[in-house]
Amino acid sequence: MRGRSALAILLALLVSVPVVGGTTTTMQDEETMDPCMEDPEQPCENQTVLYLWSNGQSTFWSHFNANETDNANDNMYSQEKTQGVINIDQRFSMNPQLTKRMNMSLDGEVRIVLNIYLQGDWTNNDNQGPCTNDCEELNVTLWAGATAIVRQHVPQVSTGWNPVTITHRITEAQTLWDASTANPSIQIEMKVKGDRQQTSPITVSGEIANFSIRLSGDGDTRVELPIDPSSWDDSFQA
């Protein structure tokens, strides 16, 4: 009996000893958890780049997460027309909408990086194609709500793939982006004209109009924003 009692006491002591190692590991996991994971599509200290997405058809959006399961499988948006004008006016508005205030660094650099494929004509009255007054060269605008942060006319593009980089320095009037009034978006505008036609049973003349843009599936298409670290202070967000 005495032996059984001693064994029972020993078992009770073992059960009552706390598992210190397991508790410590859990606390460490919590301490090292990425703060951006709570709202992965919102900006945070580790996510200051806006990415552009589309389903490849008629839906366009952007957010701060480098991953998007609903993006087009080929990571492209494209329009093509044999004859006539392709009217590109697409706005990649942040969705879900911005829920945080952002303080941009004064004189910080905005960098817009795009990759656009072109075929056809887009310059009016240069005697190099079918455009008269019905085409429009590439224009790119970064919006914060209804405020245009930068609008850039980009005439220096050619047939084929065009890497496009636009930079802008934040002015004093552009530093504060409030969640309720400054939802960010990128607008891309262009009118490209095609004049391809069958001139005989075996020959064609003219060019097809094509506008294609790579999306952010590979991370190359993006908008880098100079969000100041003070944006993540609780006092600033309050």
Task: Report how many helices (DSSP H) and strands (DSSP E) the chain contains, helices first.
Answer: 3, 15
Distances from the Cα of 80 to the Cαs of 52, 194, 198, 202, 215, in angstroms? 21, 9, 17, 22, 17
Per-residue pLDDT band at 200 (split at 50, 70, 90): confident
- Look at residues 81, 87, 84 and name the one whose alpha carbon lies nearest to residue 136: 87
Before 96, cis peptide (omega within 30)? yes
Q: How much is the average pLDDT of 32-43?
A: 83
How confident is the model at residue 31, as a pLDDT? 56
How many independent structural domains does the chain possess? 1
The per-residue b/e assignment along 122-151, b for 16 or more CB within 10 angstroms, e otherwise, is beeeeeebbbeeebbbbbbbbbbbeeebbe
Q: Which range has the top average pLDDT, 15-24, 121-130, 153-162? A: 153-162
Q: What are the two backbone dihedrals, phi and then psi, of residue 80, each rounded to the nearest 5 degrees? A: -140, 145
Per-residue pLDDT band at 10 (split at 50, 70, 90): low
Q: What are the two backbone dihedrals, phi and then psi, of residue 59, each rounded to the nearest 5 degrees? A: -115, 130
- Look at residues 217, 238, 231, 236 and name the one whose alpha carbon lies nearest to residue 43: 231
Report how far apart the first and last C-alpha atoms of the chain are (Å, whole number).
67
Under 8 Å between Cβ of 223 and 98: no
Q: Give per-residue pLDDT as tens, 81-117.
A: 999 999 999 999 999 999 999 999 999 999 999 999 9
Phi-psi region of 9 (alpha: psi -120 to 50; beta: other; left: phi over 0): alpha
Distances from the Cα of 23 to the Cαs of 10, 27, 69, in angstroms? 23, 6, 35
Per-residue pLDDT band at 208 (split at 50, 70, 90): very high
Q: Where are the alpha helices (DSSP H) in the chain?
A: 2-16, 20-32, 234-237
Chain centroid to Cα 209, Å, comes to 26
CA distance 9 to 7: 5
Domain carrying residue 129:
2-237
CA distance 53 to 73: 11
Position 152, amino acid: Q
Q: Residue 18: is its pLDDT beyond 60?
A: no
Q: Give per-residue pLDDT as tens, 137-148.
A: 999 999 999 999
